[in-house]
Structure 1
Amino acid sequence: MSHYDPIDASAKAHMERLTPWRRRLVLFLRAVALFLLLEAVYHWAIICGVGEGQFGGFEDLPTVVQVGIIWAAIINPIAGVGLWLGAGWGVVLWLLATLSQVALGFWAPEGMSRLLVLSLFEVALVVAYAVLSIRAARESDEE
């Protein structure tokens, strides 16, 4: 028995109307959204003290690092939801979160070494987003 869901049907129809590069961009942004949600869980785990080891607890980190972790724990899930929904504000929040994380990494590198890999990965995601956006825009212009 087939179950018809109008929301799934409209989402599928919308995805089918997109150009190939636009569809890739939407799927990429959804993958980034999942990454941001997982990263938020990681930051909340640091705040809650899950997996404390040789680095000590959250309270032992420098204040600047604590602020960065709290900021990421709050902004990343919000940006992730925005990216998943395809909202323009989701991209803006994601870029703002990435910029602030990289800036904090340069400003306070002694405490951000654990998060350096995440920062570098997010910068790579931003570059990939720029490439996909340019390709999607060119494809739209050609039509």
Structure 2
Amino acid sequence: MKNFGGSEREAARDGSAAIRIGDAGAQEEKSIWGLILVVFMRVLAALWVFQGLSQWGAILTPREPLFDQVNGLFGAAVIFFAILDLVAAVGLWLATPWGGVLWLFSAIAQIFAALMIPGFFATAWIGVNMILIIAYFALTWRAGRAREDASRRR
């Protein structure tokens, strides 16, 4: 049986400790970069919910029979993004590490789908995804640096 210390015991009782980023027991200073990262992730989550729901709209309410008119790769991509985009959006909204990873996977998959499946995504979407990925990495890096600087000051 593990013997919990004071802060570990409090973290074990805290129900939201599983979705916190970083050490759940530490009382870290809130940095502006961490806040900007969370806001950015929530805006991305809203965008990815919209994308996921538009894919589900193509499945559930097509103007013409979708899977009869398109090739199998196009239909598989619709189903793939209908599921992945919504799951990634939930993870982004919760600001969890797995949400960021799923979102990165989804964004990279969208870039490849735009290149490999003509007409599935607009070509401009490649550039938008690249900008979003670079912004995500930059904000994550800045938030991590701010957290390291705050822990060094202690």
TM over 0.5: yes
Do structure 1's residue 45 and structure 2's residue 52 form an aligned pair? no
Between 73-82 and 61-70, the greater mean CA deviation after superposition:
61-70
Which residue in 2 is equivalent to 1:27?
39
Asked if the contact 1:62/1:111 (under 8 Å) is kept, the reply is no
**Following TM superposition, where does structure 1 have runs of at least 4 consecutive aligned residues deviating by more than 6 angstroms?**
none
8 A contact 1:39–1:76 mirrored in 2: yes
For 2:70, give the aligned amino acid. L
| Structure with the greater alpha carbon radius of gyration | 2
Distance change >3 Å, CA 126–CA 29, structure 1 → 2: same
Q: How many residues align?
A: 124
Alignment of 1:111 with 2:119, yes or no, is yes
Deviation per residue, 1:51-105 (Å, 9 max, x gap):
x3xxx64222222121111111001111111111121111111111111221122
Aligned equivalent of 1:4: none
State the identity as a percent. Answer: 27
- d(CA) in 2 for partners of 1:140 and 1:47? 43
Give the alignment's Cα RMSD to 1 decimal. 2.4
Contact 2:33/2:143 (<8 A) preserved: yes
How many Å separate the matches in 2 of 1:28 and 1:127? 12
- One-letter code of the match for 1:91? G
1:17–1:61 Cα change, 3 Å: farther
Which residue of the other structure, out of 73, 84, 98, is the alignment partner of 1:89?
A: 98
Higher helix share: 1
Unaligned regions of 5+ residues in structure 2, if any?
Answer: 1-15, 17-27
Residues 1-143 of structure 1 aligned to structure 2 (within 5 Å): 17-50=29-62, 52=63, 57-59=65-67, 60-108=69-117, 110-112=118-120, 114-143=121-150
